[in-house]
Structure 1
Amino acid sequence: MVNSEFFEKTRVYLLLLIILLVAYFPVSSFLFALKNDALTDNFPPKFFFSEALHAGQFPWWNPYINFGLPAYADIGFAFWNPITWCFGFIGYNFYTLSIELLLYIWLGTIFTYDLLKYFGHDKITCLCIAVMFGCSGFFVGSLQFINFITGAAFIPLCLKLYLKWQAGFNFKTSVQCALAFYFLIACGHPAMPIGMLYFILLINLLRELINYRSCTFRSIGLLLARNGLLMLLIAVIVWPILYSTFEIIPLITRRDMVNQAHFAGTGFTVPSYLSFILPFTTTSTGEFWGNSGLMRNGYFSLLGIGLLAYALWKSKTESQKIFLWVGLIFLGFSAGGPFKEFLYSRLPLFQFIRTNGEYRVFSILSFLIVASFPLNKLILQTDHAGFRGVIKKILFISLPLLVAAILFFFRSGWEMPATTGSLDFSSKIKWLLDNIPFALRVTISMAVIVFLGSLALFLYRRMPLPFLVLSLVIVDMAIQCWLNLPYSGIQAKSPGSMQALISKVPAGIPIPTLAPLSLNTRPEVNNIIGCWSYYSKQPGTPEYCDYPTVFSSTHHYFNSEYFLHPTDRPYVYLEKSGQPVKTLAFRNSAMAYGTDNTAPDLLVLLQNGHPNWAAYADGKKINIVPYQEAFMAVELPAGKHRVEFVFSPFKLRLVLEAWGILLLILAIAYRYSNKIRFSSLSLP
């Protein structure tokens, strides 16, 4: 029985993988590379991380991004995520970056399938909802925001295990739930864990409101106690993440609350609701949308939105009521404009959130859960005449709208520029999807609806309804992926073209040359893969690199009178005499230099100061002197010296040792969890 269930799940998971590979074919085929933030913000720390591991070095300190930062505390990098370590050992490049992204989306579909199975739905229902979620407008629209996707993939898992924990409160389910939250928190961006906290809070609050007649002070107290214990257990499991985050927050520019007025255009605005039916139209430009084009897509299939609308008018289960309200509230949380400015300036933790359109993922998942109940009923019922009638009504409405859209487009008089004639086929398709006018986008969107309706009628008598529904969902989501990915996630060039840009960079962590900082730049790649200093294996940069995690001292340096002074010097030099410095050894977190200065001098290292740095001259520890507000220097007497700079996070090592002991205790307790009871905290 166990083996049969295992093989059945394996077949389902492989089917989901095949569907995703088809839906995300522009990515999975490696015909097109990811773009924008995926390459300029997400890839650079992964590249360094992998290079350090392959060089046999533990990646404590990244010396290449804006004069260095601790990799383990980089809020924009999933350092503590085990999947990051797996790919780090395999080797990060522009191909494996695409594979990693697809892996997270696949995991999201697997966890969604398991979540719907937990609700007791049929396998086909679970498959449909999983495909809707994995190919939804959140994943397609946010494809270049990898850290959002790595977190969102684990939301269904956290929800399932949290519901399971509530239904069967014991030590085993507590540990399982806490581990799921570890992966969510280790995603590399704080937005998703904060959103999940509000998600869980709303579920509990709405459940209590719906069942207010049976609520007592004792039941509420027990609920709070249980959740408090779970939060404590989660805090233990994510202890190193919390420590490293609180260690770096006082040092970086993003330590303060966000001025929400500056980020009012980053939400999922009301005009973006058009994406629920016509997602391709929202890839057009214009002030009408009132937000970033990457925050507009909330699509989760025509069937999904239709079943959600159907559920609104029918009697609902308690779960449907809860998730319907949660989804609507998160639509509010994801809104932009004055509403965001007002709400996010007041709610705890939201004050630190810049963009909020990503929170539509909680609405999408909630709405899919609501829609799953009528979908499951449709799949299981024997009389399907009503389904055919609905399809006919959709076609009856869609066909006139399609004709009107075609007429409106032809009246616009739009033509392709002659310059596109020199483009190859794939580049021409990419250009078209990026640049066609709104009227043509509406026409294409309506044509897709008509095509899907016609396909449904054609196949209605030719295949069982469950497989027809699944087929329609797959075709629908694949088409929308292909239409929208060129705008939101991929560029015209291939991963191979991106890889060629860094093909001549030396492998590992080599000894840098002592060339002037002014040479460590290639402006032509800045908007493609980010600052050249990320990849050149040369510490220091002559230009400010717009990376999410930036030391406040670095920011001050780039806005100070010192900025232009050291760019004609290497990253390490003698400040007064300018005599040559010899590099004796170089590791990412330990550097040794030899000097032979004829007079007392100051050895300057253009790396950001941090409490974990220590300096040694001829084997003796010496004081580090702040230099130009951001960097480090040591005073040397005349003569020959060996100077070492060592980055050693001693306190973090202690935390890791204590954490390891606690995890061992938890593992032993988990092994004998049947003997651990929580009866005193069980809800009546």
Structure 2
Amino acid sequence: MIIAIAVILTYWPISLCVASVKWDAINISIPWRYYIAGSLQDFSLPLWYPNQNLGFAQYIDPQSWYWPSWILSIFGYTNLTFHLEYVIHLVVAAVGVYHFSLYKRISRSSSITIAIVYSLTGFFIGHAQHLGWIVSAAWTPIVILQFIKFTNTFSYKHLLGTSLSLYLLTTGGYWGFIVSVYYFLVIVFLYRLYLLLTVETDYQAKVGIFIKRSLLLVFLNVLTTSLVLYSVLSNINLIERGQLDLEQLLYGSLYPVDFLSFFAPIATYVESFSFWKGDISLINVFIGTFSILIIIYSLLFNFKLFKKHWKLTLLIAFSFVLAMGESLPIRKVFALYVPLFDFFRFPSLYRMFAIIGISLLLGHCIDHITSWRLFSKFLIYAVGSYVIGIITIVAIHYEELITFISQITLKPSEMSLEFLFIIQFFMSIALLLLYLLVTKMAGTINKSTLLKAFLLAEIMFVSQLMFPHTVVDIRQNPLDIFSKIKIIEYDNTKNRLDKITLNDVEKLSREHVKYGLNKATYMGVVSYWAYTPYQFKGYTELENDSLIEYIKNKPFVYVSDDNEAVQSDYYSIETTVDSNRFGFIVQNMRDKPLKLNLSQNYHFGWHCYVNNERVCISRSNISLMSIELPSGRSDVQFIFKPDYIHILFVLSVLCFLFQLFFYFKI
């Protein structure tokens, strides 16, 4: 409860809907979930998303099957729902680290402290726009904790806990985290098996139980995620986001200069690519000045603590090595030789694993500060280091600072980089001096409690400074934005898709919806454009061909003869659009067959029925669909129903509920 309250209050601009998330949250995550919510309200599975890039098989994306998001979507999905989902996962992340730290025998007060710290790090604030990354950071500690408990106890409860949390990570998280966590679990399994064979007594019986139950875990996990596995594997060659070249794989690396955000997070306000080199979301590793100083102190004066917890130290070091994809060769080697590492970008994502390790190591360091007198002296030296840093910056950038100060602005995003570093260093000096003064005057007050209070106060305060200048827009009120999502009744377009061109639909959506880039989603109309990380290779080919202009100037559905559009005097169309289905009543007034063209991407999951008889769908216009239309009146139904999906959905649901029931019963 303490953790949840602390997280909710610290993130008050989001939790109280005072400010809005922005960027990818508005342009990708919210429209996707808005579409999924609409499908669920129609009692349909979210299979085909017609509103972006002339249609996409949404079921391919694992996040389409994320249960917590479905539950929140019962009454529809808006930007307010997104805020709620974001804050819930912040709390889940903090609670996960709290239980992990207790398992690592860290004191309860220190566990609460590092749990709150973890959820307030630069990773969570910087990636507020990337809900998949937030979900990954929430479930990863829980997955690892459950699996470690399972390898130590072989218990069915922790086996089920691992399987359930793995499912939530797999369906809600980002691909890079999912692949990495599975590899991590394999390493833990092999290490535990090695210990059983070399250290444990009566190892034969234990090894047998361990292997059998591990195989059961694999079996349950495959059953539960069978829908996701089949959806991805059967479509992987169709989508543009397939195998990437090395340059693309290393995009979004962490650079050595980014480690300065440990000590000066507000300096990341300035999106100076000549200095930071990376995107503002990917460079922030802030975990608190006190946190880093405590760890440095322990490294210098209590090194045996690092030897004792060498696994955490190794996790931190190796994670940062992987994160520095362009600067160090390890990520390149993994991309070339380790399966599945060539399917995701952003090496900087590995800083999340490092932050988990740092958080747990911080708890041990707080609990094992051997000399408070020595620690106070160390902080005095830290103050001196910050003073030297300020003097150095002023000496090197004196003229630039004078010029800037003469034109001083109160907008941090417009401040010079050097000035922000100086402000941050002054803040750190003031905080450290205040802590030293309070400890001097406190007398009998527990110094450990005082340190934790200052640590939390600092990271909460700095979080408030980072919110407005990262991915939270304080100028936009979510309630006001929601009112701008004008969902209009568009009888003149939805039911007359044979009359209005795709270009006209695009103009209409831009006119009526003033929110985000994927406006067509909110209107429920077909669009040839979208801001999305996924699209079909065939559509990309069409988009790069001159034929796309011809398609844009045609209606969503039209009739042609020998590739020439037929005048509407010779046919009529009545249209119905439902989830995963397009229906047309077509009157072909000619005495010969014509071609009915549908501006939706061809996919093997489409089935077409003309007068209740299944007909062959032809691939036309590079990536789109057409059928032969007989003379006279025809009832045409395009239904998107990929094979096995509904069976696998039922199997996945039943397996998940079965495991959930026995997890709480055991």
Per the alignment, do residues 666 and 286 of structure 1 end up closer, same or farther by CA in structure 2, a change over 3 Å counting?
closer
Q: How do 1:120-131 and structure 2 match up within 5 A?
A: 120-131=105-116
SS at match of 1:244: helix
* Cα 1:526/1:621, change in 2 over 3 Å: same
- Is the 8 Å Cα contact of residues 344 and 351 (structure 1) preserved in structure 2? yes
Give the corresponding residue for 1:498.
481
Aligned partners of 1:155 and 1:328: how far apart in 2?
A: 18
1:249 to partner: Cα distance: 1.4
Q: Write the deviation string for residues 454-495 of structure 1: whole angstroms up to 9, x where unpaired.
A: 332343244543442232122221232223333331234332
**1:608 corresponds to:** 601
Distance 1:512 1:448, change over 3 A: farther
Q: What displacement does 1:658 show?
A: 3.8
User: 2:451 aligned with 1:469, yes or no?
Assistant: yes
AA at the equivalent of 1:199 = F
* Stretch moving more, 406-415 or 339-348: 406-415
Corresponding position: 1:273 with 2:256: no
Other-structure match for 1:375: 366
Q: 1:162 to 1:393 in 2, by over 3 A?
A: same
* C-alpha separation in 2, matches of 1:665 and 1:214: 36
Q: Judge conservation of contact 2:151–2:210 (CA < 8 Å) in 1.
A: no
d(CA) in 1 for partners of 2:424 and 2:190? 39
Q: In the alignment, is residue 249 of structure 1 matched against residue 228 of structure 2?
A: no
In structure 2, the partner of 1:95 is 80
The more displaced of 662-671 and 510-519 is 662-671
Q: Separation in 2 of the partners of 1:652 and 1:606?
A: 24
SS at match of 1:89: coil
Q: State how 1:20-169 maps to structure 2 within 5 Å.
A: 20-75=7-62, 78-169=63-154
On the 8 A contact 2:151/2:192 being kept in 1, the answer is no
Aligned residues of 1:279 and 1:299 also touching (Cα < 8 A)? yes
Match of 1:393 among 377, 381, 388: 381
Q: Distance in 2 between matches of 1:660 and 1:56?
A: 15
Summarize the alignment of residues 399-414 of structure 1 with structure 2, pairs less than 5 Å apart: 399-402=387-390, 405=393, 411=399, 412-414=401-403
Cα 1:133–1:662, aligned 2, differ >3 Å: closer, same or farther? closer
Between 1:149-158 and 1:335-344, the stretch displaced more is 335-344
Q: Structure 1 668/538 Cα, relative in aligned 2: closer, same or farther at 3 Å?
A: closer
Report the secondary structure of 2:142's partner residue.
Answer: helix
| Unmatched segments (≥5 aa) in structure 1 | 1-12, 421-427, 674-684
Within the candidate set 212, 223, 227, 1:236 is matched to 223
Determine the C-alpha separation between the residues in 2 that align with 1:173 and 1:65. Answer: 41
- Structure 2 vs 1, CA of residues 228 and 270 (structure 1 numbering), >3 Å: closer, same or farther? farther
1:628 aligns with 2:613: no
Once the two structures are superposed, residues 347-380 of structure 1 have per-residue CA deviations (whole angstroms, 9 ceiling, x without a partner) of 22111111121111001111222222121234xx
Instruction: Tell whether the 8 Å contact from 1:152 to 1:184 is kept in structure 2 after alignment.
Output: no
Greater shift after overlay, 526-535 or 267-276? 526-535
Task: Report the equivalent of 2:536.
Answer: 551
> Do residues 195 (structure 1) and 180 (structure 2) align?
yes
Instruction: Give the equivalent residue in structure 2 for 1:300.
Output: 287
8 Å CA contact 2:618, 2:626 repeated in 1: yes
CA distance, structure 1, for counterparts of residue 122 and residue 184 of structure 2: 19
Counterpart of 1:538 in structure 2 is 525
Superposed CA deviations along residues 150-199 of structure 1, whole A, max 9, x for unmatched, are 11111111121112111210322211111111111111421111121233
Q: Which residue of 2 aligns with 1:261?
A: 247
Inter-partner Cα distance in structure 2 for 1:540 and 1:512: 15
Is this contact kept in 1: 2:601–2:623, CA < 8 A?
yes
Q: Deviations over 1:498-546 (max 9, x none)?
A: 32442244599x94542210023357999972233232211132x4x24
After superposition, the Cα gap between the structure-2 partners of 1:671 and 1:49, relative to the gap in structure 1 and judged at 3 Å, is closer
Aligned amino acid, residue 320 of structure 2: L
Q: Is 2:304 aligned against 1:325?
A: no
TM-score (ref. length: structure 2): 0.88
- 2:588/2:631 contact within 8 Å kept: yes
Contact 2:485 2:514 in 1 (8 A): no
User: Partner amino acid for 1:628?
Assistant: N
1:583 aligns with 2:569: no
* Structure 1 residue 331, shift from structure 2 partner: 0.8
C-alpha displacement of 1:575: 2.3
Change over 3 Å in CA distance of 1:200–1:278 after alignment to 2:
farther
Equivalent residues in 2 for 1:376-455 (5 A)? 376-378=367-369, 384-402=372-390, 405=393, 411=399, 412-415=401-404, 432-455=411-434
Q: Given the alignment of the two structures, is residue 516 of structure 1 paired with residue 515 of structure 2, yes or no?
A: no
Q: Map Cα deviations across residues 397-431 of structure 1 (whole Å, 9 max, x no partner).
A: 3345446656777742344899x9xxxxxxx96xx
Match for residue 4 of structure 1? none
Give the CA deviation at 1:290.
3.3
3-state SS in 1 of match to 2:305: coil
Q: Is the 8 A contact 1:260 1:354 kept in 2?
A: no
Helix, strand or coil: the match of 2:355? helix
Q: Quick check: 2:197–2:207 contact (8 Å CA) kept in 1?
A: no
Q: In structure 2, how many angstroms separate the alpha carbons of the residues matched to 1:507 and 1:595?
A: 21
Structure 1: distance between partners of 2:19 and 2:395: 33
Paired amino acid for 1:503: K
Q: CA deviation at 1:136?
A: 1.0
| RMSD value, Cα | 3.2
1:489 corresponds to 2:476: no
C-alpha separation in 1, matches of 2:30 and 2:208: 46
1:479 aligns with 2:466: no
TM-score by length of 1: 0.85
- Equivalent residue number for residue 642 of structure 1: 635
> Compared with structure 1, are the counterparts of its residues 152 and 315 closer, same or farther at alpha carbon in structure 2 (3 Å cutoff)?
same
Within the alignment, does 1:651 sit opposite 2:644 as a pair? Answer: yes
Give, in angstroms, the shift of residue 322 of structure 1.
0.7
Q: Deviations over 1:318-362 (max 9, x none)?
A: 761111101111111111216344442222211111112111100
8 Å Cα contact 2:164/2:656 also seen in 1: no
- The within-5 A match list for 1:333-372 is 333-337=322-326, 339=329, 340-372=331-363
The one-letter code matched in structure 1 to 2:304 is S
1:286 correspondence with 2:278: no
More displaced, 499-508 or 205-214? 205-214
Question: Distance between the aligned counterparts of 1:531 and 1:568, measured in 2?
Answer: 20
Amino acid at match of 1:517: L
Tell me how many residue pairs correspond in the alignment: 641
Contact map agreement 1:308 1:368 (CA 8 A) in 2: no
Shift of 1:302: 1.9
Give percent identity, aligned residues only: 19
Change (3 A) 1:391 1:663: closer
* Structure 2 residue identity aligned to 1:478: M
Q: Hey, what's the Cα distance between the residues in 2 that align with 1:417 and 1:531?
A: 43
Say which is worse superposed, 236-245 or 453-462, in terms of deviation.
Answer: 453-462
**Whole-Å Cα distance in 2 between the matches of residues 74 and 259 of structure 1?**
21
Distance in 2, matches of 1:333 and 1:482, equals 30
Give the conservation status (yes or no) of the 8 Å contact 2:164–2:660: no
SS state at 1:595 partner: strand
The 1:18–1:416 alpha-carbon spacing in structure 2 relative to 1, beyond 3 Å, is farther
- Relative distance call for 1:205 and 1:295 in structure 2 (3 A) is farther
